[in-house]
Amino acid sequence: MIDPVLASRLQFALTTIVHIIFPVMSMGLAPFLVYFTWKEVRTDDPVYPRLRSFWTSVFAISFVVGTVTGIVLEFEFGTNFAAFATTAGELFGGPLAVEGMMAFFLEATFLGVFVFGRDRVSDRLYFLSSVFVGLGTWLSAVWILVANSWMQTPRGFELAREGGQPVVTLVDPVAAYANPRFPWMFVHMQSAAVLSVALFLAGVAAYYVRTGGDDRFWRMTLKVALVALLVTAPFQVLHGDSYARHVAETQPQKFAAMEAQYETGPHADLHLLAVPTSLDGFTDPRAETLFTVSIPSLASALASGGDPSAVVDGLNEFDGSPPVAFVFWSFRAMVGFGFWFIGLALWGGYRWYQGRLFESERLLRALTWSSLLGILTVELGWIVTEVGRQPWVIQGVMRTTDGVSPGLTGTEATVTLVGFAGGYALLLALYSGVIFRLLRSGPPDAADVTTSEAPAPPEEVTVDD
The residues, any chain, with a CB within 8 Å of residue 126's CB and separated by 6 or more, are 37, 41, 113, 114, 117, 118
Give percent of the chain above pLDDT 90: 45
Q: What is the pLDDT of residue 341?
A: 97
Cα–Cα distance, 188 to 384 (Å, whole number)? 13
Distance from C-alpha of 360 to C-alpha of 366, rounded to nearest angstrom? 10
Determine the distance from the C-alpha atom of residue 69 to the mean position of all C-alpha atoms in its chain, rounded to a whole number. 14
Confidence bin at 199 (pLDDT 50/70/90): very high
What average pLDDT score do residues 82-101 get? 82
Q: Report pLDDT for 308.
A: 85
pLDDT of residue 254: 92
Which amino acid type is present at position 73? Answer: L
**What's the whole-number mean pLDDT along residues 331-354?**
94
Is the pLDDT at 446 greater than 70? The verdict is no
28-37, 101-110, 138-147, 201-210: range with lowest mean pLDDT = 101-110
Is the pLDDT reported for residue 453 higher than 60? Answer: no
Q: What is the dihedral of CA 123, 128, 131, 132, to 10 degrees?
A: -140
Model pLDDT for residues 381-401, shown as the tens digit of each residue: 999 999 999 999 999 888 999
**Greater pLDDT, 346 or 68:** 346
Residue 99: HSE in the Cβ half-sphere, 13 Å Cα cutoff: 20
Please name which of 119, 55, 59, 30 lies closest in space to residue 443, comparing C-alpha atoms: 55
pLDDT at 457: 44
pLDDT over 70 at 465, yes or no: no
Residue 121: per-residue pLDDT: 87
Three-state DSSP class for 232?
A: helix
Dihedral sign, Cα of residue 420, residue 70, residue 12, residue 77: negative
Q: At what angle do helices 21-42 and 373-387 cross, to 10 degrees?
A: 130
Task: Report whether pLDDT(353) > 90.
Answer: yes
Mean pLDDT across the chain? 87
pLDDT digits (tens, 9 = 90+) for 277-336: 776 666 666 676 777 778 888 888 888 777 888 888 888 888 877 888 889 899 999 999
Mean pLDDT of 216-232: 95
Q: Does the pLDDT of residue 371 top 90, yes or no?
A: yes
Q: What is the mean pLDDT of residues 348-366?
A: 92
pLDDT at 149: 92
Instruction: Express as a percent the part of the chain with pLDDT over 70.
Output: 93
Q: Does position 96 have pLDDT exceeding 90, yes or no?
A: no
* 3-class secondary structure, 312: strand
Q: What is the per-residue pLDDT for 214?
A: 61
Give the pLDDT mean for 148-173.
87
Spatial distance between the Cα atoms of 419 and 416, rounded to a whole number of angstroms: 5
Residues 151-164 have a mean pLDDT of 86
End-to-end CA distance of the chain: 81
